[in-house]
């Protein structure tokens, strides 16, 4: 791949020592970092690698794609692209015994959220106790404990830096306190190449993400700094970035055909959303993109679920019939995993008596609502979890459960299920049990987002192998849980195709051919004074992130009563 660097880029490429590269989306920060890595790879000793750390599996996937464009196959084998969590987990698994003399154990996100929901005291204190006394490391403490280990053991720190003499840090503006402590330990022996976009700082509502992080980095390491500014290689022939910058700074919007705004009335909002996504796919195909990817973004998980329902129904729009659109939803990973446990428990029904089987499934349903309550505490989720837990206890005691949905599950279990050994068909049959009650609609929605059966899917393979060995799905819950736990840490995502739904926050680090951003009149509103004071700086940064995910085209679908995207002050000021 022939890459032409600007003068600033060439200077950054030549610089030795710690480097800080800042710039907007698509400005070439990642390309520059990989070119610097390529220069260093030739001088690495056997066993050494360049370490590239990022926050999400999606961002890791983007880097791996970029590696294929820039590095040879041999060079790619000498760059380790990891998430912070995966990197820290490896450190703890290999050397965690040095912290307290006990063999390390990992508490993955799902079990951690359940434990947090069921714990009566201060969970932050409890996870520290689990690490210090039991050697059990919660997902949320990986970076903190890994940093403590490197600070305590210079031998381990030197070993890590000997293996990774160069460390590239992606999206540094969102580094939390524990990750910052880890970075400071790595910097004692390794050379840092740091990438950041201050205007993509969208997680600073979290108490441990300091908006002054870049200044702290400058003070600690005195790096050579290079500003790539507003250069945009993601959509170089589009004015998407200038539109996004205007939204962020609350200035007059530029006129562009690359970003369209669609105003809707309440009666036709759903059909308009459906039409906007259909139009986007059509436009991208007309532009010569054979397999286009379109992200449909909403403000919250709940509103993304609403959008999924809109696209899943048939609509009439300007005399045209719009058929349901096939789409994938990037959902709350832990709720999805909890829903998968319910389905897996149903696969195990033929192995147990009716009482035990039904009660186990009801406990799994209670776990789902415990998981929901752990992330977004509410009396409703807490009471629902308690009601299913009580229903399970009643079934075990030979009594009839009280909730209607629990009764439906028990009746389905009594009726029995016969499986064929076709893992896909059997999974769908087990999932269909949740259609027996409207009260399980939320759980069914989450379960539908479990995309288990791709060609290389580990869960489908494990279930198929188990059936081949025993003619049953014995241990299905354990298989599903283990596979999903590991899957959250490994960069196994594929290049997106088709229509993908997610929140604006989840879109960070991803790229798509087109983006449709949807605002609801009530749910999913952009500018909410109960949540944030005008001029809504945090929301504007978030919208900038969503808009700049697009390579070619953006559509914003907004209610007609919504306030304008920007309200710049009059140039001459107020008049008398």
Query: 3-state secondary structure string, 426-494?
Result: HHHHHHHHHHHCHHHHHHHHHHHCCCCCCCCCHHHHHHHHHHHHHCCCCCHHHHHHHHHHHHCCCCCCC
pLDDT in tens, 433-470: 988 888 888 888 788 776 544 433 678 888 999 999 99
The number of beta carbons lying within 10 Å of the beta carbon of residue 557 is 23
Both structure tokens of 502: 């997610």
**Mean per-residue pLDDT for 380-388?**
89
Neighbours of 356 (CB within 10 A): 15
Across 301-325, average pLDDT = 89
pLDDT of 96:
92
Most confident of 3-17, 225-239, 373-387, 487-501: 3-17
- Overall average pLDDT of the 413-423 stretch: 93
Determine if the peptide bond prior to 303 is cis (ω within 30°): no
Quickly state the pLDDT bin for 375 (edges 50, 70, 90): low
Sign of the alpha-carbon torsion through 330, 333, 339, 341? positive
In whole angstroms, what is the distance from residue 231 CA to residue 432 CA? 50
Q: Kindly list the distances between the CA atom of residue 489 and the CA atoms of 55, 163, 484, 533, 576, in Å, as whole numbers in the listed order.
A: 10, 21, 9, 36, 61
With beta carbons less than 8 A apart as the criterion, state whether 487 and 109 touch.
no
Q: What percent of the chain has pLDDT over 70?
A: 91
pLDDT of residue 493: 46
pLDDT digits (tens, 9 = 90+) for 230-286: 565 556 656 898 999 999 999 999 999 999 999 999 999 999 999 999 999 999 999
pLDDT at 61 over 90: no
Buried/exposed code over 270-294 (b: 16+ C-beta within 10 A; e: otherwise): bbbbbbbbbbbbebbeeeeeeebbb
pLDDT band at 486 (very low <50, low <70, confident <90, very high): low
CB atoms within 10 A of CB 97: 14
Q: What is the pLDDT of residues 141-167, one digit of tens each?
A: 999 999 999 999 999 999 999 999 999
What is residue 119's three-state secondary structure? coil
Cα dihedral 141, 147, 152, 158, rounded to 10, equals 140
Cβ of 451: how many Cβ atoms within 10 Å? 13
Distance between CA atoms of residues 11 and 390, nearest Å:
66
Instruction: Give the lowest-confidence range in 15-19, 52-56, 516-520.
Output: 52-56
Of 155-164, 464-473, 496-505, 539-548, minimum mean pLDDT range: 496-505
94: CB partners within 8 A, 6+ apart = none
pLDDT per residue as tens digits for the range 99-109: 988 999 998 87
The helix-helix angle for 333-347 and 109-118 (nearest 10°) equals: 90
Write down the pLDDT at residue 418: 93
User: What is the pLDDT of the chain when averaged over all its residues?
Assistant: 87
Per-residue pLDDT, 430: 95
Cβ-based neighbours of 148, under 8 Å, separated by 6 or more: 99, 181
pLDDT at site 452: 46
Read off the tokens for 526: 């952009």
φ, ψ at 465 (rounded to 5°): -65, -40
């Amino acid at each position: 791949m022939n890459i032409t660097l600007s003068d600033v880029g060439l200077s950054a490429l030549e610089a030795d020592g710690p480097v800080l590269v800042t710039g907007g989306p698509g400005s070439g920060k990642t390309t520059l970092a990989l070119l610097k890595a390529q220069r260093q790879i030739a001088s690495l000793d056997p066993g050494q690698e360049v370490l590239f750390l990022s926050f999400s599996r999606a961002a890791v996937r983007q880097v791996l794609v970029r590696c294929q464009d820039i590095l040879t196959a041999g060079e790619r084998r000498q760059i380790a692209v990891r998430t912070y969590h995966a990197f820290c987990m490896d450190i703890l698994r290999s050397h965690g015994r040095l912290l307290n003399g006990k063999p390390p154990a990992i508490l993955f996100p799902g079990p951690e959220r359940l434990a947090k929901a069921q714990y009566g005291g201060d969970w932050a204190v409890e996870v520290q106790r689990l690490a210090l006394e039991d050697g059990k490391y919660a997902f949320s403490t990986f970076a903190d404990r890994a940093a403590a280990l490197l600070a305590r053991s210079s031998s381990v720190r030197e070993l890590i830096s000997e293996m990774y003499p160069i460390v590239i840090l992606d999206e540094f503006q969102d580094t939390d306190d524990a990750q910052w402590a880890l970075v400071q330990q790595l910097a004692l022996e390794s050379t840092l190449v740091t990438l950041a976009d201050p205007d993509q700082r969208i997680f600073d509502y979290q108490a441990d993400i300091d908006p002054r992080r870049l200044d702290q980095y400058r003070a600690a390491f005195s790096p050579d700094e290079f500003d790539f500014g507003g250069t945009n290689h993601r959509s170089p022939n589009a004015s998407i970035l200038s539109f996004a910058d205007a939204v962020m700074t609350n200035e007059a919007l530029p006129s562009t055909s690359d970003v369209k705004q669609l105003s809707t009335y309440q009666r036709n909002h759903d059909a308009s959303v459906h039409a906007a996504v259909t139009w986007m796919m059509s436009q991208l195909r007309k532009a010569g993109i054979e397999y286009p990817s379109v992200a449909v973004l909403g403000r919250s998980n709940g509103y993304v679920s609403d959008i999924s329902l809109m696209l899943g129904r048939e609509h009439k729009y300007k005399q045209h019939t719009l058929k349901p659109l096939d789409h994938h939803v990037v959902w709350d990973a832990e709720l999805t995993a909890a829903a998968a446990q319910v389905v897996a428990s149903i696969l195990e029904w033929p192995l147990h008596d009716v009482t035990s089987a039904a009660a186990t499934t009801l406990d799994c349903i209670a776990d789902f609502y415990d998981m929901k309550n752990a992330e977004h505490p509410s009396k409703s989720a807490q009471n629902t979890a308690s009601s299913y837990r009580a229903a399970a206890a009643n079934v075990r005691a030979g009594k009839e459960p009280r909730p209607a949905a629990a009764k439906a599950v028990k009746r389905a279990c009594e009726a029995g299920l016969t499986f064929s050994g076709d893992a896909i068909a059997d999974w769908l049959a087990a999932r269909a049990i949740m259609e027996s009650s409207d009260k399980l609609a939320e759980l069914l929605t989450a379960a539908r987002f479990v995309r288990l059966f791709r060609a290389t899917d580990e869960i489908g393979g494990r279930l198929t192998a188990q059936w081949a060995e025993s003619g049953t799905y014995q241990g299905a819950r354990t298989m599903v849980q283990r596979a999903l736990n590991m899957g959250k840490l490994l960069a196994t995502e594929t290049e997106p195709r088709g229509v993908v739904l997610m929140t604006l926050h989840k879109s960070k680090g991803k790229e798509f051919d087109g983006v449709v951003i949807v605002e609801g009149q009530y749910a999913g509103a952009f500018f909410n004074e109960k949540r944030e004071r005008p001029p809504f700086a945090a929301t504007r940064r978030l919208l900038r992130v969503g808009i700049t995910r697009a390579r070619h085209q953006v559509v914003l679908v907004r209610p007609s009563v919504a306030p304008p995207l920007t309200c710049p002050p009059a140039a001459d000021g107020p008049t008398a």
